[in-house]
Structure 1
Amino acid sequence: MSDNNNQNGGGGESEFSHGMFQRERRDTMESQASSSSEFSDFSTENEDPLDSRRLDILASDEETDQDNAETTFPNVIQRSTTFERVLSDAIIHQAPIDELKVILEAGAKLIDPVARRPNPLHYTVWQRYPEAAHLLIQQGYDVNALDDFDCSALHLAARHGYTDMVELLIKHGATINYNTIETEDTFPVDAVDEPLRLAIKHGHCDVALILLENGANPNSRYFFGSEINLINPLKPEFLELLLLFGARVDEQDRNGLTPIMKACRLRKGMESLLLLLSYGGDVNIRADERHDHRTALHYAVLSGSLDIIMVLIDSGAQVRFEPDYNKPTPLHLAVRRGDIKVINLLLDVGAYVNSSTSLVGSVLHMACSEKVHNRLEVLELLLSRGANPNIVVQGLYGTPMLPPLGDYLAASDEHDLNVINLLLRHGTDVIMKSPQRSPLGLLNCVSALSQQPLVLEELLEGAQKFDLELIRNTCLLGTQERRLCLEVAGSPLSLRHLSRICLRHEPATARPDSVLKLKLPPIISKYLLYEIS
């Protein structure tokens, strides 16, 4: 580097390069939260442009440091800093090795071990100048010196995928593992990104391999989980690399999710799923309470991938859960999505059609209360497969939930008469009482039918029991609804209706298909199935 260059702007270039390097270093230590987010796109961020304001601050800080140096140790620190800056400038401009030797011989000192700033060795990595790095290490520069972002030269080399620099630094004793390998803290708050984490995060498989071959810990733990928990499921090559070097396949992250669960959440996660299964991954591990103790099958159902669901079932995934599970099952989720193929598949392999939870009720409750786009088709499937339309489920506070029909009436102000007819055909009891007096009571839901008198008339046609006193006195009924209810409740039930009720409550004739098998005139069969009045 010429003297003219140093006098006519070398200092400005140096400040520019130093500020740019500091900006580069800040990007290398991004938070681990970006790696573990459930809704992360797992993409590598582009480099930020140079922030001129930050450059001014850095330059100002250096001037302050030099002023302090002149005041305190003018003959030591200032001279060392000046020569170190000259050396850094030479490295940035990739000056020949001979010139770097001249600068070193002229007085550039080793970096102060207490200082935490980019030293010339960091600049050799940034410029990918292995010859200069080798020279500095020979001259005694600390290969493990950290900058003010706790980054070593190896961190920087791993982040950028510089295999030659990584190999050189490791050869000269660079530290590879910075976090405690065995720690009682499952999710340590003070863990720093390892060089391996940076190599994987930025897509450098060859660098990750070098680090692992030289002892990088494949199970290093961070605040959001282990190394394998932070891998994008759409990058199976990194999963396989970690597994080859001993990563634990069933490691759970901070939310209790395993790599298999994360792979099953994605429709394109089949390759990673098969890889994890080949290493013995457990498909029945459950997530934590915040995620409703879901299994991989839950997430596969949510993804809608029939192929992934079939692989999990073939691998022993649990489809029927214990009575005290009390969380939505995969069948609940399939019903919520209105996925007919998945519902059929789950029922075929043993899912319990009347499974229920105190939070959302039975699967029939789910179909009736949620906005299922193909509700009628889903209901018809569930009822034909044995779903109980009169199921009683205890709610969160120990009181019975509304019956499925009541849930349907309460869920909106618009009701499909076809849904009402379907539920009646399959034996739904219509009890015009309050829920406090009967767990199947629907009277409190009648107010939702104020704009749909035809629906109310259909329900009253199939009603079996009434609370006449409550109908007269309740404030939940409007004038028209009260009048219609009193007209029906005030008269004895017809003999044919009583016969229908009695016949439909017999197990042998409860289902519509069993009624059709009876040798009855068609008109009577239609009446029994609520197809005519």
Structure 2
Amino acid sequence: MAVASKSMPGSTISPTLGFDDYTLYSNLSDDELMQLAIERSLSDPHNATSLGEASKTSTALGRRTVQFRANPPTTTPNPSNPPREDPSHRPPTANPPDARRTCEERRKCGDIVVTHFVTGNGKRMLAYHRGDGSIQYVPDTEKEQDPIVKAILNGDVTTVRAMARNSGNNILRPDKYGWIPLHEAAYYGQDQCVRVLLGAQPGVINMCDLKGRTALILAVESEKVACVEALLEMGADPDLANKERESPLYKGCEMDNAEIVAMLLNHGAMVNKSSTQGWTALLEAVSRNNVEICEMLVRSGAKLNPTDMYGITPLSTAAQNGHVETLRFLIKHGADVNSEASDGSTALYEAAKNGHEDIVEILLSQKAVANKVGKKGLLPLHIAAQQGNAGIVSLLIKATSKSRVKRSGISPLHLAAEYNWDEVLEVLIKAGYDVNAVLSEERSRMYEDHRRTALYFAVTNGNVDTTTMLLEAGANPNLDTFNPLLVAMRQGSIELVTLLVEHMANVNAYIPTHPTSFPATVMFSMKYLSMLKYLMDNGCDALSCFSCTYSSGPHPPLQETSERDGYNTDMRRNTGEPVQFCEIISTRAISRWAGPIIDVLLDYVGQVKLCSRLTEHLDSFKNWEVIKEKATPPRPLMQLCRLKIRQKVGIHRLRCINKLPLPQQLIKYLNHEECNQEQFGEY
């Protein structure tokens, strides 16, 4: 006796299970038994085997399980021209004569396979096999199949002929989908049945189903060449389209079937007929990259530049899809390389957008214009830079006018920097594109921070390589409303901050929309003492931090309205005046660092007076008493001299002070290096 385990719903039956071991099924439920037979049939690719096993299963289960209807096909399908399944076609109720189908009917409904079967008691059932492996059984309410349809699907020409002669068998009566027997015969490739039916009722040859499809369209859709030939020979209209205005010729191109297309053209099919979407047969053939069909269509008078409802031409379709062969064919026969779609895009634009470098090269060699903008005002060069294709960018640079790029309000440098395409950026810089080009006001307003330069994009992305490339090429770090240095500081990137400062970024930058009485750079570096000191060494204004409206008098209560990255940049005083340093440092996120921050700033100022709020902070922690003493006048003469020398040297030369012809000890003295370790070691 073969060994097997009980199969539950959703499981797979072992292929070694012996069907003569009847006792193995005694404990299975009806649902489990139905699934067992279904899975047995579905797992076997050979129709006859499935039928035999299904029969044995029925016997083994005491006729409690399913028994499949069998209608063996009498015709053999052409293996070189397999039929296509049309998801819009209604599922027939009998077994089609197709070797790819099992004896039970299978339909695709999304991710659900629907299976018909009959129980041992003759009850018609449907099994819904879902993608998750579950199966649901429901009664099949579909009516019994018309005998003539059953005969057609079985290829029983003799029976079909007899029924067609019998007036009691109405071959004109449509089913609920509008299908008459002729439609069944055409779709399933029963050409002899087609001839018999038309011989009996020639008037039905152009009848349509509910979707407006004739027998000819159905034969074309299922690629039944013999049926197409029979229908055309017997007078089928080759131009009668379905409700989508898709003609048989269009469907033949959609099926990519040159034999059917040639047959339709030989019978006078209209070659320029368009669908509701505006697609012609040529557009469809180009989308399939079928040069053979394109040649047949053009020889038959197909227009080279028809447009669909979006203004897209065959040439643009070939360019968009990277179809080199059909593109060359269309150009050779005179297609317009500069035609524009409704949104202004050209074939060159589509090729650049989709990264087809060989197509771009061909189009440029045929004088395609690179200075036409699309709907968004972008040139092919812009879109190539955005997509990061350096090869296409190199080709388009030679054909694109820089003045036209400037009029667009955006440089390809912006797009390369925004999308982190370093290679593209390098190509553009070498080609002489201005690294200081700014976005137009209209494009700048599209960003909340009103950014303007490519450098800003690079810094925002935290891309050190791109930032370095732009700065070394001469990018000005002070052209944006919100200085890129502030962006780098908010990110806490010492590397970017150093790069920008070394290239003369404004260390005293402010935020126009959030006015403060001291540089915003100080505010963004409060959590990073090393960064704060670096800014001070490079000329940041520390004195403004000690200028307070209230001095030693009482301060109004704080009004923190919102917090961004730990800084209350939306804080305002009731007077509407700029926010002061003592107010910012008193916020919850910063106050615990007040002492060390004030200590750093005191190294870069002379005689100052601490306001009552700063004094209050220093009094709050015992270890900060020494900082308060440090601010008590008079300041040491050495400190005052250092400040005077730094003032004379100037902010710009301070950034390269190590290169000045000064004694090394003096340089260290000006940089406060003699006290760094001692001061910062305790914090």
TM-score, scaled to structure 1: 0.69
Structure whose residues are more often helix by fraction: 1
2:274 is aligned with 1:164: no
Say which of 641, 646, 652 aligns to 1:497.
646
CA displacement at 1:454 relative to structure 2? 0.7
Matches within 5 A, 1:422-461: 422-431=499-508, 435=512, 443-444=519-520, 446-461=522-537
Equivalent residues of 1:25, 1:156 under 8 A apart = no
Choose the corresponding residue for 2:181, options 63, 85, 88.
Answer: 85
Residue 172 of structure 2 aligns to a residue whose secondary structure is helix
| Pairing partner for 1:249 from 337, 352, 358 | 337
Give the Å deviation of 1:485. Answer: 6.8
Tell me which residue corresponds to 1:520.
661
- Are 2:590 and 1:478 aligned? yes
Is 2:399 the counterpart of 1:315?
yes
Deviation at 1:123, TM superposition (A): 4.5
Select 1:214's aligned residue among 275, 293, 300.
Answer: 300
Can you list the C-alpha shifts for 1:473-498, whole angstroms capped at 9, x where unaligned? 34668233562575256527812322
Query: 1:455 deviation in Å?
Result: 0.7
Selected match of 1:390 from 451, 454, 478: 478
What per-residue deviation string (whole Å, max 9, x for no partner) do you get for residues 80-99 of structure 1? Answer: 34896158527845445xx7
Partner of 1:408: 488
> Which residue of the partner structure matches residue 277 of structure 2?
191
Q: Which residue of 1 aligns with 2:467?
A: 379
Alignment partner of 1:332 out of 414, 419, 428:
414
Contact 1:84 1:109 in 2 (8 A): no
Q: How many residue pairs end up in the alignment?
A: 452
Quick one: structure 1 residues 119 and 435, their matched pair in 2 at CA, closer, same or farther if it must change by over 3 Å? Answer: closer
- Whole-Å Cα distance in 1 between the matches of residues 600 and 512 of structure 2? 17
Q: Identical aligned pairs, as a percentage?
A: 18
Question: Which whole-Å CA distance do the structure 2 matches of 1:349 and 1:387 have between them?
Answer: 15
Cα deviation digits, residues 270-294 of structure 1 (max 9, x gap): 21111111222112222223xxx22
Shift of 1:333: 2.7
Q: Which runs of 5+ in 2 are unaligned?
A: 1-68, 76-81, 90-105, 117-125, 127-139, 150-166, 445-449, 549-579, 608-641, 675-683
1:271 lines up with 2:358 in the alignment: yes
Letter in 1 for 2:437: S
Normalised by the length of structure 2, the TM-score is 0.55
Residue deviations 1:243-271, cap 9 Å, x none? 3344332344455433223322455x221
Q: Distance in 2 between matches of 1:260 and 1:294?
A: 12
Which one scores higher on RCO, CA 8 angstroms, separation ≥ 6?
A: 1
Separation in structure 1 between the aligned mates of residue 462 and residue 404 of structure 2, nearest angstrom = 25
SS at match of 1:430: coil
Tell me if 1:288 matches 2:375. yes
2:156 corresponds in structure 1 to none
TM-aligned CA distance change 1:139 to 1:344, over 3 Å: closer
**Structure-2 change in CA distance of 1:437 and 1:223 (3 Å):** same
Mark the CA change 1:247 to 1:341 in structure 2 (over 3 Å): closer, same or farther. Answer: same
| Cα pair 2:185 2:194 within 8 Å, conserved | no
- Aligned equivalents of 1:13 and 1:404: distance in 2? 78
Task: Indicate conservation of the 8 Å contact 1:383/1:426, yes or no.
Answer: yes
Does the C-alpha gap of structure 1 residues 62 and 355 become closer, same or farther in structure 2, counting only changes over 3 Å?
Answer: farther
- Decide whether aligned partners of structure 1 residues 390 and 244 sit closer, same or farther in structure 2, where only a CA change above 3 A counts: same
**Retained in 1: the 8 A contact 2:352–2:380?**
yes
Q: How far apart in 2 are the matches of 1:531 and 1:338?
A: 39
Alpha-carbon deviation of 1:459?
1.1
Paired amino acid for 1:281: A
**Matching residue's letter, 1:380:** T
Read off the aligned partner of 2:316 and give its amino acid letter. N
Alpha-carbon spacing, 1:284–1:219, altered in 2? closer, same or farther (3 Å): same
CA distance in structure 1 between the aligned counterparts of 2:646 and 2:527, rounded to whole angstroms? 27
Pairing of 1:124-139 with structure 2 (within 5 A)? 124-126=219-221, 128=223, 132-139=227-234
Structure 1 vs Structure 2 CA RMSD: 4.6
2:425 pairs with 335, 343, 359, which one? 343
Q: State the shift of 1:226 in Å.
A: 0.5
Matched, 1:419 2:490: no
Structure with the greater alpha carbon radius of gyration: 2
CA positional deviation for 1:147: 3.5
- Residues 147 and 23 of structure 1: is their aligned pair in 2 closer, same or farther, counting only changes over 3 Å? farther
For 1:54 and 1:212, the matched residues in 2 are separated by: 45
Return closer, same or farther for 1:117/1:256 CA change in 2, 3 Å cut-off. Answer: closer
1:405, CA displacement in angstroms?
Answer: 0.9
